[in-house]
């Protein structure tokens, strides 16, 4: 059985966010779940939690709360420009310093809602060995009208050509140890918007990529929701995005 860990990524900590993180931790196991909090603009409010920073790792293997900020990211990666659009600095350093062994890491954004049991949802790919899994994964030739194909920066001869680029939606992604190493080692070589940079790096390094099965994803999993949209859930172990409040969730039916 492959060993998976989960990293809940967020930059704020309201009651809904706390509730979703605790649900992930309770259902998947507190030893397997980490919190990666960007405190560039908002300090992490829980002063009682054992914490560490990407720039000053705590040797205690029991610590599961990791803080980072823009200044740390740019110190790791000279091409870093945005914590929102670029995530390879956070991901790459986390992978290098992670205190536990793993085969795959799930990176889960704060606005992903699980209708049911997180462990059962993620178990849908327990036999998969693909290095990069996400939703909306396409090669350039299959989705040429996407807006972000050119969002890769760095020296021209380091960047893969347009025809060799791959995209993937980033609210929920699974990344192998092999790809985590490539992400770390490529920091400062070239960079870009995470949804094109990391899938493209995967292909360039000869690793595998693909979509998570449809069975994991609910009927609403998109870039944004119209205002006041209600998501109807049925406790059927599926993921929804973006959800930032229980006001977006209708009563179970």
Map the chain to HEC letters: CCCEEEEEEECCCCHHHHHHHHHHHHHHCCCCEEEEEECCCCCCCCCCCCEEECCECCCCCCCCEEEECHHHHHHHCCCCCCCCCCCHHHHHHHHHHCCCCCCEEEEEECCCEEECCHHHHHHHHCCCCCCEEEEEEEEHHHCCCCCCCCCEEECCCCCCCHHHCEEEEEEEEEEEHHHHHHHHHHCCCEEECHHHHHHHHHHHCCCCEEECCHHHEEEEECCCCCCCCCECCCCCCEEEECCCCHHHECCCC
Residue-level pLDDT at 17: 95
Q: Which of 34, 62, 36 is nearest to 50 (CA)?
A: 62
The yes-or-no verdict on residue 51 having pLDDT over 70 is: yes
pLDDT tens readout for residues 108-151: 999 999 999 999 999 999 999 999 999 999 999 999 999 999 99
**Token pair listed for 226:** 């119209």
Please write the tens of the pLDDT for every residue from 199-246: 999 999 999 999 999 999 999 999 887 666 778 888 899 999 999 888
**Peptide bond just before 242 cis, omega within 30 deg:** yes
pTM of the model: 0.95
Band (161; pLDDT cuts 50, 70, 90): very high
> Average pLDDT, stretch 9-27?
96
**Is pLDDT above 70 for 59?**
no
User: What is the C-alpha to C-alpha distance for residues 30 and 105, in angstroms, rounded to an integer?
Assistant: 15
Delineate the domains of the chain, giving CATH numbers in brackets: 4-217 (3.90.550)
**pLDDT of res. 248:** 81
The whole-number pLDDT of residue 2 equals: 84
- Rounded CA-CA distance 237/216 in Å is 7
For residue range 66-87, what is the model confidence (pLDDT) as tens digits? 999 999 999 999 999 999 999 9
Instruction: Provide the 10 A C-beta neighbour count for residue 101.
Output: 8
Q: What pLDDT score was predicted for residue 202?
A: 98
Q: What Å distances lie between residue 230 and 64, 65, 93, 200, 248, CA to CA?
A: 33, 32, 37, 34, 5
Whole-angstrom distance, CA of residue 27 vs CA of residue 152 = 37
Q: Give the chain's radius of gyration (CA, Å).
A: 18
**Which pLDDT does position 253 carry in this prediction?**
43
pLDDT of 246 reads 86
Q: What is the pLDDT of residues 162-210, one digit of tens each?
A: 999 999 999 999 999 999 999 999 999 999 999 999 999 999 999 999 9
Dist CA 169 CA 61 (whole Å)? 31
């Amino acid at each position: 059985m492959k060993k998976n860990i989960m990293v809940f990524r967020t930059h704020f900590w309201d009651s809904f966010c706390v509730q979703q993180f605790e649900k992930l931790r309770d259902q998947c196991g507190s030893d397997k779940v980490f919190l990666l909090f960007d405190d560039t603009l908002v300090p992490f409010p829980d002063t009682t939690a054992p914490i560490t920073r990407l720039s000053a790792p705590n040797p205690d293997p029991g610590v599961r709360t990791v803080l980072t900020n823009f200044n740390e990211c740019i110190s790791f990666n000279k091409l870093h420009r945005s914590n929102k659009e670029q995530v390879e600095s956070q991901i790459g350093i986390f992978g290098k310093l992670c205190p536990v062994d793993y085969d795959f890491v799930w990176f889960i954004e704060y606005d992903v809602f699980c209708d049911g049991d997180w462990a059962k949802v993620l178990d849908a790919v327990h036999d998969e060995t693909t290095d990069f899994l996400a939703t909306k994964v396409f090669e350039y030739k299959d989705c040429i009208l996407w807006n972000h194909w050119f969002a890769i920066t760095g020296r021209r001869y380091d960047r893969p050509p347009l025809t060799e680029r791959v995209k993937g939606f980033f609210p929920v992604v699974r990344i192998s140890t092999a790809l985590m190493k490539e992400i770390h080692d490529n920091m400062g070589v070239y960079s870009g918007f995470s949804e094109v940079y990391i899938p493209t790096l995967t292909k360039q390094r000869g690793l595998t990529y693909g979509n998570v099965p449809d069975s994991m994803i609910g009927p609403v999993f998109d870039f944004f929701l119209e205002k006041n949209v209600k998501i109807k859930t049925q406790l059927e172990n599926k993921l929804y995005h973006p959800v930032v409040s229980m006001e977006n969730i209708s009563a179970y039916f």
